[in-house]
Amino acid sequence: MPTPEDGPSPLHDVSRTALVRRARRIHRVLAETYPDARCELDFRTPFELLVATVLSAQTTDRRVNAITPALFELWPDAATMAGADRTELEEVIRSTGFFRAKAGHLLGLSAVLVERFDGEVPPRMADLVTLPGVGRKTANVVLGNAFDVPGLPVDTHVLRLVERLGWADAHTLADPVRTEHAVGALFPRRDWTMLSHRLIWHGRRRCHARTPACGACPVARWCPSHGLGPSDPVVAEALVTTQGPA
């Protein structure tokens, strides 16, 4: 009978030790496959990353990157953004969608940063999640990429891959926070930020939501969901994208 190291197995058939071993092997292969994996939001400062991440909800990183140069030319820091005219701010970020709610979050978090943190983005989860519009996912993005504090943002790509790879059960997957803790427990803390990047890159480039490129997947032999998409290498390869669409 094949072990999890030899091929896919349902989650309930995998021992804890085997699950950890398989998950880490998959991560090593993803690291080799995506050596340039990184945050695909453009930023120069922690504040810029915080704003860009808030704007990235329900839109693409490409769209956010298209508008942030003009945004930060007008309001480069928390102090200037806290004093922004709401109508003007909404117009600049309109193309990212949900622009009224996002403008409210940006004005609110900027004001709190000025009032409570001297205009600086705090490097602690407990502080970040007190900012308007900032939850654990956004906080983890900022911690991991602006402050080198290991974080594991759980977005739709990460949730999808964790489910397909059998790293968490349905009960855990119903809650992103439980998923964050469950997946984090499989890996050394130092790996969390890059693990998230590599899962997101794999989800954007191969393990698509509708039709995953199973036949062109470097971790197919360890994936319990192999076969959801075309297994034929030629057909699957045509589905692979070289740049993340979101």
Residue 244 has pLDDT above 70, yes or no: no
Is 157 found in the same domain as 140? no
Question: 155 catalytic, yes or no?
Answer: yes
Residue 10 has pLDDT above 70, yes or no: no
Contacts of 69 (CB under 8 A, 6+ apart): none
Is 50 found in the same domain as 133? yes
Question: 137 catalytic, yes or no?
Answer: yes
Is 138 found in the same domain as 76? yes
**pLDDT, tens digit (0-9, with 9 covering 90-100), for 104-158:** 999 999 999 999 999 999 999 999 999 999 999 999 999 999 999 999 999 999 9
Is 189 found in the same domain as 107? no
Catalytic-role residue among 42, 155, 175, 191? 155
Catalytic-role residue among 61, 77, 102, 137? 137
Which among 191, 218, 202, 197 is positioned nearest to 161, based on CA atoms? 202
Q: Let me know if residue 41 belongs to a domain.
A: no
Q: How confident is the model at residue 14 (pLDDT cuts 50, 70, 90)?
A: low
Question: Which of 122, 146, 170 is at the close of a domain?
Answer: 146
Q: Let me know if residue 100 belongs to a domain.
A: yes
Is 125 found in the same domain as 80? yes
Question: Which of 93, 114, 146 is at the close of a domain?
Answer: 146
Q: Is the dihedral of CA 117, 146, 42, 44 positive or negative?
A: positive
Quick one: tokens of 222?
């360890």
Number of domains into which the chain is organized? 2
**pLDDT, tens digit (0-9, with 9 covering 90-100), for 155-203:** 999 999 999 999 999 999 999 999 999 999 999 999 999 999 999 999 9
Mean pLDDT of the residues in the chain: 93
pTM: predicted TM-score of the whole model, two decimal places = 0.90
Contacts of 244 (CB under 8 A, 6+ apart): 40, 61, 200, 201, 204, 205
Which phi and psi angles does 59 have, rounded to 5°?
Answer: -150, -175
Contacts of 144 (CB under 8 A, 6+ apart): 39, 150, 151, 152, 153, 192, 193, 196
Is 63 found in the same domain as 28? no
Question: Which of 146, 177, 196 is at the close of a domain?
Answer: 146
Residue 12 has pLDDT above 60, yes or no: no
Residue 219 has pLDDT above 90, yes or no: yes
